[in-house]
Amino acid sequence: MNNFTANFEQLIARHTLVGSPLISIVIPVYNEESGLEQLFKRMFPALDAMASQLDVKYEVVFINDGSKDHSAAMLAKQFDARPDVTRVVMFNGNFGQHMAIMAGFSYSNGDYVVTLDADLQNPPEEIINIVKLLLDGYDYVGTIRIDRRDSHFRRYASLMMNQLRNKITKITITDQGCMMRGYDRRIVNLMKKSKEVNTFIPALGYTYASKPIEINVSHEERFAGESKYSFYQLIRLNFDLVTGFSVLPLQAFSLIGILLALASGVLFIYLLIRRFVIGAEVEGVFTLFALNFFLMGVMLFGLGLLGEYVGRIYQQVRKRPRYVVLGVLQQDAEE
Q: Which does 30 bind (CB under 5 to 8 A by kind): Mg ion, ligand UDP, none?
A: ligand UDP
**Which residues face 91 on adjacent strands?**
325
- In sequence order, what are the residues at sequence separation of 6 or more whose Cβ sits closer than 8 angstroms to the Cβ of residue 157? 234
Distance of alpha carbon 40 from the chain centroid: 24
DSSP 8-class letter at 21? P
* C-beta of 21 vs 35, nearer to Mg ion: 35
- Binding partner of residue 214 among Mg ion, ligand UDP, none, CB cut-off 5 to 8 Å per kind: none
Residue number, 25 or 209, with CB nearest to Mg ion: 25
Q: Which does 94 bind (CB under 5 to 8 A by kind): Mg ion, ligand UDP, none?
A: ligand UDP
Shortest separation between residue 229's beta carbon and Mg ion, angstroms: 8
Binding residues for ligand UDP, rule: CB under 6 A, are 28-30, 32, 65, 94, 96-97, 100, 117-119, 121, 227-229
Work out how close the CB of 43 gets to ligand UDP at its nearest, in angstroms, rounded to a whole number: 12
Q: CB 17 → ligand UDP: shortest distance, Å?
A: 31
Q: Which helix (H) or strand (E) holds 194?
A: none
x/- letters, 111..130, toward Mg ion (CB under 5 A): ------x-x-x---------
Distance CA 306, CA 308 (A): 5
Residues in the chain: 335
Candidate ranges 25-33, 61-69, 110-118, 168-176; the one touching Mg ion (CB under 5 A): 110-118
Which residue, 68 or 275, has its beta carbon nearer to ligand UDP? 68
**Residue 65: contacted member of Mg ion, ligand UDP, none (CB under 5 to 8 Å, by partner type):** ligand UDP
The nearest distance, CB 297 to Mg ion, in angstroms, is: 35
User: Judged by CB, which is closer to ligand UDP: 212, or 225?
Assistant: 225
Which one of Mg ion, ligand UDP, none interacts with residue 97, CB within 5 to 8 A by kind? ligand UDP
238 belongs to the binding site for Mg ion (CB under 5 A)? no
Count Cα atoms within 13 angstroms, Cβ side, for 61: 23
DSSP string, 126-151: GHHHHHHHHHTT-SEEEEEEES--S-
For residue 264, give the nearest of 213, 312, 298 by alpha carbon. Answer: 298
Kindly give, in sequence order, each residue whose CB lies less than 8 Å from that of residue 76, ignoring residues fewer than 6 positions away. Answer: 88, 329
The CA distance from 300 to 235, in Å, is 18
Q: How far is the CB of 31 from ligand UDP (least distance, A)?
A: 7
Of 56 and 118, CB closest to ligand UDP: 118
Which sign does the torsion angle of CA 138, 139, 141, 142 carry?
A: negative
- Number of CB atoms found within 10 A of residue 120's CB: 21
Min separation Cβ 152 and ligand UDP, Å? 15
Centroid of chain to Cα 297: 30
Which residues make up the interface to Mg ion (CB under 5 A)? 117, 119, 121
